[in-house]
Amino acid sequence: MNEITITIDGRAIQTQEGEYILNAARANGIFIPAICYLTRCSPTLACRICLVEADGKQVYACNAKAKSGMDITTTTPNILAERRAIMEVYDVNHPLECGVCDQSGECELQNYTLEVGVDAQTYSIKDTHKPAQDWGLIHYDPALCIMCERCITVCKDMIGDAALSTVARGSEAIEAEFKESMPKDAYAMWNKLNKSLIAPNGGDTLDCTNCGECTSVCPVGALVSSDYQYTSNAWEHKQIPATCAHCSAGCQLSYDIKHTSITDPEAKIYRVKNEWNYVSLCGAGRYGYDFENRDVVKNPVAFEAAIAAFKKADTIAFSSTITNEEALILQRLKEKFGVRLVNNEALALKNFLSNYSTISGKSLYGGDLKQVHEADFVVSIGSALKTDNPNARFAMNNALSMNKGAGLYFHPINDPVIADMSKNVTQFNHAPMMEEAALYLMLDLFGDKETMPSSVVEYLSTFHSTKTVSVEETVDEKVTETVTKMVLNEESGVEEEVSEEVTKTVKKKVSKEVEVDENALFALLNAPAGFAETLTKYLAKKENFALMVGPDLYTHPHAANCARLVALIEKYTVFSVTMIPNLANTLGVAMICDLDGERGSYTIGYNTAGDFTLSALGNGDLDMPSLNQQEGTLTGIDKRVNPTNAALSYGGYILNDLANALGVNAKLTVDYTAQLPVEKGFSACVFDSLPNHYTNSGEEVRGYLLKNIAMNVSADENVRPFDVSAAIREKVVYLANPVLQFSPFTAASHQLQESGGIYLSASAIEANGWSEGELVKVKTARGELSVSIIKDGKIEGDIAYLPTFDTAINSEALFERYRFASVSIQKV
């Protein structure tokens, strides 16, 4: 990309060659109206209002690319006339219910109508009857819809559900006189608008992963959250900038708060908003916001009991849904009292990272989700992407759809959501325990064999063999035939038989014996037939490669070997490597705490079961604030330390109170922000100095980035071969959460309340002759559970999974460490 200079309205600005004019203008604070364009998605050209004049020619700023020296004028009399006509058209038959509309003034239709100065209406058309539709979490009122198609665009280009499309509006044709009288682009835009409406692909119901991003991008009040409907006006909310507390993506969001009611002045979160141009939320982030620990008052008796328990305890077990500061308090308690800190999920990542750094020489992986967004070849290994980290899934989908990318997805569970992302994505539904084979395949396909350790190269070569296969080819063959024809002899008047030679080209299939290289890894990973050719096609013109590895590898029995393989991939291939931490602050905990593996005799559980339990869910021995009730920082997948703020008040004791009583003193929890370990990559920044926003150019100004610290490298780059016989061929169960759930905190929010069970694909339920809701006994080597069957429409194949979000189901007890376990499922 070259830096170039263009002129917009006489102002010289710097931008990248090939950047859209609109983005260049926005990054430099120059206003060009635009309704249908979404940053990071493809231009729709539905609204046509971003019309500008570039070098004397009218172009659309959202899809015209900047060229060096371009001279752009954003307003000419003709453009102003077009814009005015466009806004008048949008206002035709638009219901005058702004007073109750949930957009309540945050409306782009209102803004632009005023901006271009529409004070009278010229156009008219007969209205059609468009009843409102309820799509579960989302409510669609087509009467308010202006057909900018932003919902369709974001669903396809960013989210990857492609659950929405246009259907016929059933409107009358626009009066012919308007075609003559009105500006050209305005007419074209109206003509398109007049033909279509938004509808779910599944007919009446929306079949998607319920991220609600469509409601977020809607410029008017057509798509809104069903729950939020008519409860509040936008201007009444105080927006609390925060970081999502559910997964490691660490999305920036704002909690919109207001008093609960006239009689209850206590603040309540009404909804979550996001900067949809730069960050997309999943459904858990958007709808799972009210997981606070309510109505807690200081209970001195419980506090004294907690202090006594701390004095008695030799172990503190905790989950990763805590802030960095709390993690540091726990670490200080460990240093002072020598207690064990147990968090197996964070320990798995910590060990993985330390094994990774023995080869990579870095404390942290090199990639982040931004690199995935920009990649054109994306690979995911060892992660149920859509539920482990929805933002990683969005990044992969965005890369595939925007960069003409291709992708590989290695996971035992077949995921239709991944398959729907693009035609150019291949799923390897390999057997559990074969993740190492996938990593070896990466080295085999993309590794630089010249520099790679020779042992690895030799090992990889054992998978290759030459095979003679017969290939069917179509060849053109010239065939000469003798054709007999009846020709009328003109002299005699009698028909005679005449022989004639005709040469024609015939396509003929021939079998040919060719020698091909056969890669045994393909078969071991259950590659689809003809994958070698598919891959060649995928790799054409690819420049940016991104690999995401997930929690399946961290808990893998051979996790150390996996980590070293990942480091080799990062070192010897062109791939950037991003690791997906499990929960909101798994990475932070892994960096800050010295974790232990086993619990001792008396355990204090923080947000996890223990002999004495501190719980932000309100079900423990002492209440703690949940993540929307406290300020602090969270470390996300992008290795960024993101600040989050308290949206709601909390009246009880906090961990810092306990620490103070135990002699680890700090006035506020956030006093620890500046004390986060610098040697682990943190910066000594004061909490209040941490920013949390995006700029107009899309730059993420949030917290700070962890420094990637150089580590000792051992010259030993040997990796162990994988064991084919270790592959689990029998029936397995997986440990994962359904869409919209991450932890008990998501399930505690009122819109996402549900109870867990064992999740199976529709085909698996049918094949076993079970039905939804039936109770089954799930038995692994470690124990058994009685749970009911729940259908998951977003998986295929016969692998079932058990969730971790439902505290009533102790799924983790059924698993050794690895996320897969052999299982028998019997109907009760």
Partner 1 sequence: MHHEEPFTNRNVSESSAYYYVDIETYPTTGWDKFKQVVKRTFNGELFVGLWVVMREMIKFDIHTVQYPLEKLPIGPRYRAVHKLLRLWESGYERCIGCGLCEKICISDCIRMDTRIDENSRKEVTEYSINLGRCIFCGYCAEVCPELAIVHGGRYENGSEQRAHFVIKDDMLTPLDLLKAGEQAEYPGFGAIIPGSDASVKKTPLAY
Binding site for partner 1 (CB under 8 A): 98-100, 104, 120-126, 132, 172, 175, 229-233, 235-236, 259, 261-263
User: Percentages helix, strand, coil for the chain, rounded to the nearest 5?
Assistant: 30, 25, 45
Q: Closest CB to partner 1 among 122 and 810?
A: 122
The conformation of residue 688, written as its DSSP 8-state character, comes to: G
Q: In angstroms, what is the minimal distance from the CB of 237 to partner 1?
A: 12
Q: In angstroms, what is the minimal distance from the CB of 17 to partner 1?
A: 46
Q: In angstroms, what is the minimal distance from the CB of 263 to partner 1?
A: 8
Q: Which residue has the tokens 């409406």?
A: 197
Q: Closest CB to partner 1 among 173 and 668?
A: 173
Q: In angstroms, what is the minimal distance from the CB of 546 to partner 1?
A: 44
Closest CA to 515 of 451, 482, 471: 471
Closest CA to 805 of 269, 414, 288: 288
Q: Which residue has the tokens 């941490």?
A: 690
List of residues 6+ apart from 40 with CB closer than 8 A: 157, 158, 277, 278, 373, 398, 402, 698
Question: Is 211:218 a contact under the CB 8 Å cutoff?
Answer: no
Q: Closest CB to partner 1 among 173 and 516?
A: 173
Q: Closest CB to partner 1 among 268 and 386?
A: 268
The b-or-e profile of 126-157 (16+ CB within 10 A means b, else e) is eeeebeebebebbbbbbbbbbbbbbbbbbbbb
Q: In angstroms, what is the minimal distance from the CB of 646 to partner 1?
A: 24
List of residues 6+ apart from 318 with CB closer than 8 A: 330, 341, 342, 343, 589, 605, 606, 607, 608
Question: Is 178:228 a contact under the CB 8 Å cutoff?
Answer: no
The conformation of residue 155, written as its DSSP 8-state character, comes to: I
State phi, psi for 71 to the nearest 5 degrees: -115, 115
Question: Is 55:71 a contact under the CB 8 Å cutoff?
Answer: yes
Q: In angstroms, what is the minimal distance from the CB of 36 to partner 1?
A: 25
Q: How far is CA 160 from CA 156, 429, 548, in A?
A: 5, 20, 17
Q: What is the 3-state secondary structure (H, E, C) of 705-767?
A: ECCCCECCCCCCCCCCCCCHHHCCCCCEEEECCCCCCCCHHHHHCCCCCCCCCEEECHHHHHH
Q: Closest CB to partner 1 among 190 and 310?
A: 190
Question: Is 659:672 a contact under the CB 8 Å cutoff?
Answer: no
Q: In angstroms, what is the minimal distance from the CB of 192 to partner 1?
A: 19
Instruction: Region of 93 please: left (phi>0), alpha (psi -120 to 50) or beta.
Output: left
Q: Output the CA angle 723-726-731, nearest 5 degrees.
A: 155
Q: Closest CB to partner 1 among 262 and 540?
A: 262
Q: In angstroms, what is the minimal distance from the CB of 120 to partner 1?
A: 5
List of residues 6+ apart from 264 with CB closer than 8 A: none
Q: Closest CB to partner 1 among 226 and 788?
A: 226
Q: In angstroms, what is the minimal distance from the CB of 236 to partner 1?
A: 7
User: What is the distance between the alpha carbons of residues 516 and 520, in angstroms, rounded to a whole number?
Assistant: 12
Tokens of 474: 């179509």
Q: In angstroms, what is the minimal distance from the CB of 189 to partner 1?
A: 18
Q: In angstroms, what is the minimal distance from the CB of 89 to partner 1?
A: 13
State phi, psi for 212 to the nearest 5 degrees: 75, 10
Q: Closest CB to partner 1 among 105 and 773?
A: 105
Q: In angstroms, what is the minimal distance from the CB of 137 to partner 1?
A: 14
The conformation of residue 248, written as its DSSP 8-state character, comes to: T
The conformation of residue 158, written as its DSSP 8-state character, comes to: I
User: What is the distance between the alpha carbons of residues 168 and 147, in angstroms, rounded to a whole number?
Assistant: 12
Q: In angstroms, what is the minimal distance from the CB of 49 to partner 1?
A: 21
Q: Closest CB to partner 1 among 223 and 442?
A: 223
Q: In angstroms, what is the minimal distance from the CB of 334 to partner 1?
A: 48
Q: Closest CB to partner 1 among 139 and 411?
A: 139
Q: Closest CB to partner 1 among 263 and 466?
A: 263
Q: Closest CB to partner 1 among 165 and 194?
A: 194
User: What is the distance between the alpha carbons of residues 748 and 622, in angstroms, rounded to a whole number?
Assistant: 18
Q: Closest CB to partner 1 among 264 and 517?
A: 264
CA atoms within 13 A on the CB side of 547: 25
User: What is the distance between the alpha carbons of residues 393 and 739, in angstroms, rounded to a whole number?
Assistant: 12
Q: In angstroms, what is the minimal distance from the CB of 77 to partner 1?
A: 23
Tokens of 293: 């620990």
Q: Closest CB to partner 1 among 124 and 665?
A: 124
Q: Closest CB to partner 1 among 132 and 506?
A: 132
